Amino acid sequence: MNRRLLVPALLLALAGLLAAAAAAASARSGAKTPVKVEVFAPAAGDVAGKQSKGFFVDLALSYPSAASSGADFQLTGPKGHMNIPPFPGAFGLGADEKLPGLIVLLSTTTVGARNGQNLAGLFNLTGFTNQKTNEIWDTWIAGDSLFGRNVRSVLRVAVAADKNHDGIYNDAPAAIPDANGDGHITNVDLKAFGVASNIVTVPFEIRD
């Protein structure tokens, strides 16, 4: 091969490698997962809350079909807010019966299974945003300072895999086990449990 041909050939080979790398990165980021998770709040780096409570976790989920979400609407909360019309729902630590695949973890949770505790059952507001994309929005306002005071925290959100193969993403656990035994619940442990979505990871701060 002469020199004139050699340089373009190398560039073509390089371009091919870059395209392959981009495709691999896209696959790793979960672009092809059946369920899509998008987190609106907090954003990375936010200093959230007042008195280390009252911060939002606000997110959207898109499913392959409405039926596969297993979702229903709710407007609920602690104490007198619980199970009242027009959109009654339970309220507490663990999976959320109204959005039964959702897994929400905060690395600084001080109650239950702590950093492995699924907080989805604390979400207050669940509604159907767009039937064309089977999109559901879900919002939580943290009602107490049980999720760390004046700390750097990491939010992780995902939807559990269809573990029981009933065609519905309704398999979120009460807590995520520490699969690799390193004392932290991270994306490694979420993947070991099994997820049907991308995993959104948001580092932020909870402050007084």
CA gap 145, 131 in Å, rounded: 35
208 interacts with Ca ion by CB under 5 A: no
Q: Which is nearer to Ca ion, 26 or 187 (CB)?
A: 187
Q: Which is nearer to Ca ion, 4 or 165 (CB)?
A: 165
187 interacts with Ca ion by CB under 5 A: no
SS3 112: coil
Footprint on residues 11-50 left by Ca ion (CB under 5 A): none
CA gap 85, 78 in Å, rounded: 14
Rounded to a whole number of angstroms, the minimum distance from the CB of residue 164 to Ca ion is 5
Rounded to a whole number of angstroms, the minimum distance from the CB of residue 107 to Ca ion is 11
The single-letter code of the amino acid at 94 is G
105 interacts with Ca ion by CB under 5 A: no
The answer to whether 79 and 109 are in contact (CB under 8 A) is: no
CA gap 65, 133 in Å, rounded: 8
Which tokens sit at 69?
Answer: 């979400």
Rounded to a whole number of angstroms, the minimum distance from the CB of residue 26 to Ca ion is 25
CA gap 48, 15 in Å, rounded: 43
192 interacts with Ca ion by CB under 5 A: no
For residue 8, say if its preceding peptide bond is cis, omega within 30 degrees of 0.
no
Q: Which stretch binds Ca ion (CB under 5 A): 13-21, 82-90, 153-161, 180-188?
A: 180-188
Q: Quick one: which of 65, 116, 126 has its CA closest to 96?
A: 126
Q: Which is nearer to Ca ion, 52 or 108 (CB)?
A: 108
Q: Which is nearer to Ca ion, 37 or 48 (CB)?
A: 37
Which tokens sit at 81?
Answer: 């807010």
Footprint on residues 109-168 left by Ca ion (CB under 5 A): 162, 164, 166, 168
Residues that bind Ca ion (CB under 5 A): 162, 164, 166, 168, 170-171, 178, 180, 182, 184, 189
